[in-house]
Amino acid sequence: MKVGYARASTTDHSLDLQIDALRRAGCRNHIFEESISTPRLKHPELDRCLARLKKGDTLVIYKLDRLGRSVHFLLGLVKTLGDRGINLVSLNDPIDTTTPVGVAIFQFCAVMAELEKGIIRERTKAGLQSARARGRVGGAPPKTNVQQRSAIVTMWESGKHSGREIANTYNISSATLYRILANHKKRQANERLHPPGKKQSDTPTPRRGSQ
């Protein structure tokens, strides 16, 4: 079965173009529509669409950027679909995992993405080594400031937000999020073991000769 997914963007408020193309591609009545009014970090219709798909089905989209803007998110999603036995077809991109050529193209894109990550890692490593040789301590700058880390802890302790929601809000990875929370717990533990000393109250000095 072919299942379509359409999502509006800030420059394209109408889904008509996408829906017409998806129907021509054979999706018929199986189309999930994501409205522009949906919060940027939440895509409930996409979640429903992915839950509906079964082994042997094909997910059809108008363009890859309708599915997601992050290359790594797309690669991970397509791998997940492949593991579930679900194909992906993008009508305006050379992506069609129902054909050997489409699979090869996507695999090539995945290889290039991994190559790019490797190059960035090597450049970062070389930069750190050069900085240490000059007596400087290298490292990436903090991704959050003190106020943001405090807000992150508050959001987490409120119990109203998931880790993914908090990470997306501050554009940080899950690893960074949990490192912030772990450091906060460590500080709390240290404060309990070593509470700050109480300031001694000033005691009036009795006057000489007073009883």
Number of CB atoms found within 10 A of residue 48's CB = 12
Q: Is 33 exposed, middle or buried (0-12, 13-18, 19+ CB in 10 A)?
A: middle
Q: Which two tokens stand for residue 78?
A: 């397509």
Q: Give bridge partners of residue 58 from the DSSP assignment.
A: 2, 87
> Which of the following is catalytic: 9, 130, 173, 174?
9
Number of CB atoms found within 10 A of residue 93's CB = 17
The yes-or-no answer on residue 162 being catalytic is no
Three-state DSSP at 201 gives: coil
User: Annotated active-site positions, please?
Assistant: 9
